[in-house]
């Protein structure tokens, strides 16, 4: 695999991990920050915006998985993909630690 396949695997993990909080809050009817809120990433966004933002992240993550050739046959691609998931999960846990206090 070329180096850019691994970059696509990593970013696929980032986008797939970012799907989870937005889609869960969206389908649960809860407000949650998105890049479209005021201020971006801090203010509340509607459940509909969160649902579509989560679905957008899922679609981009899927396309990047395809571009990165993530498969069971390429163990390193899966490792890099999961490193992307770990990185985004860690960043989101830090970014939203004070979310409960804002709403």
The domain segmentation of the chain, as residue ranges, is: 3-75+91-102
Q: Tell me, what's the pLDDT at 56? A: 98
Of 42, 44, 8, nearest to 29 by C-alpha is 44
Q: Tell me, what's the pLDDT at 40? A: 85
Q: Tell me, what's the pLDDT at 96? A: 79
Q: How far apart are CA 38 and CA 8, in angstroms?
A: 30
Q: Strands of the chain (E only): list them.
A: none
Q: Tell me, what's the pLDDT at 95? A: 82
Q: Tell me, what's the pLDDT at 100? A: 57
Per-10-residue mean pLDDT for the chain, 103 residues long? Answer: 95 97 95 89 91 98 96 94 97 78 52
């Amino acid at each position: 695999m070329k180096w850019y396949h691994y970059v696509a695997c990593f970013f696929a993990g980032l986008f797939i991990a970012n799907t989870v909080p937005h889609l869960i809050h969206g389908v649960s009817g809860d407000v949650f920050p998105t890049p479209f809120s005021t201020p971006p990433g801090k203010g509340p966004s509607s459940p509909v915006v969160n649902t579509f933002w989560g679905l957008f992240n899922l679609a981009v993550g899927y396309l990047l998985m395809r571009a990165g050739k993530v498969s069971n046959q390429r163990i390193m691609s899966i490792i890099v993909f999961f490193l992307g998931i770990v990185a985004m999960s860690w960043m989101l846990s830090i970014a939203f630690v004070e979310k409960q206090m804002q709403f």
